[in-house]
A and B are shown apart, each in its own frame.
Chain A
Amino acid sequence: DQQVKQNSPSLSVQEGRISILNCDYTNSMFDYFLWYKKYPAEGPTFLISISSIKDKNEDGRFTVFLNKSAKHLSLHIVPSQPGDSAVYFCAAMGGGADGLTFGKGTHLIIQP
């Protein structure tokens, strides 16, 4: 049973526009949510996180929104740049020693 779901395997966005990546979760015990970016042949790179007690966190071009009642979060990238083309993983963590629970990822393609 998947506890973290990314229902869009891929997303194509024009350069300069907003990219919105979505993630749903089922486990109410998750305390934090993280977004990672992954290029081929590299490990995932941390982008941004949000605590379950907040509804928004912003870092430069990246903003994560959390809707706890809907068990939904989204990552907004504005403006989208060619270097943003990668696979984006949504991940959740609970009590610290349980590791991260990842979604299947969304392949973001930024078109010129």
Chain B
Amino acid sequence: DAGVTQSPTHLIKTRGQHVTLRCSPISGHKSVSWYQQVLGQGPQFIFQYYEKEERGRGNFPDRFSARQFPNYSSELNVNALLLGDSALYLCASSLLLDASTANYGYTFGSGTRLTVV
């Protein structure tokens, strides 16, 4: 069974550009969430989607947006890139969006390493 897949694995962009990151959840999982991990820090919550609707949002500027498609895959978009957006972007999937997720945890992909120059 394929795990959570993210593409691309690495990406270099210039300040001011736009980027789209993609995520395919585990088959059957309906919830996808996005995290940003800056070097030396823990992952920070950006968005959570369930059944194609945004269900939660972290403390990130409006330059960050996301969506979830009918097949439950997801895209994270970042506009007007800043040097500080350089990070590992992680996607996580879960079957449901309730407390039962805590029993088996969210399953993370390997991430997309974004470098802004």
Interface residues of chain A, those whose CB is within 8 Å of chain B, are 4, 6, 31-32, 34, 36, 41-47, 49, 51, 89, 91, 93, 96-105
Choose one: B98, B99, B108; the contact of A45 (CB below 8 Å).
B108
Bound: A74/B98 CA distance, A: 24
B45–A100 touching, CB < 8 Å: yes
Binds A, one of B12-20, B36-44, B69-77, B78-86: B36-44
Q: Chain A residues with Cβ under 8 A from B101's Cβ?
A: 93, 96
Known: A43-B111, A102-B44, A105-B42. A97 touches B106 (CB 8 A): no
Whether B102 pairs with A99 at a CB distance below 8 angstroms is no
Q: Is the CB of A96 within 8 A of B40?
A: no
- Of A6, A91, A100, which is in contact with the most chain B CB atoms at under 10 Å from its CB? A100
Q: How many residues of B contact A (CB 8 A)?
A: 31
B58 at the interface (CB under 8 A from A): yes
Chain B binding surface SS class: mixed
Give Cα A84 to B56, complex, Å.
33
Chain A to chain B contacts (Cβ below 8 Å), 7 pairs: A34-B105, A43-B4, A43-B90, A49-B103, A97-B50, A98-B48, A101-B45
Say if the beta carbon of B97 comes within 8 Å of chain A: yes
Q: Is the CB of A102 within 8 A of B56?
A: no
Q: Which residues of B contact A91 (CB under 8 A)?
A: 42
- Report chain A residues within 8 Å CB of B108: 36, 43-45
Closest to A9 in B: B40
Known A-B contacts A32-B102, A44-B90, A49-B103; the reply to A103 vs B97 at CB < 8 A is no
Given the known A-B contacts A31-B102, A44-B108, A104-B42, are A96 and B90 also in contact in the complex, defined by CB atoms under 8 Å? no
Q: Is the CB of A36 within 8 A of B105?
A: yes
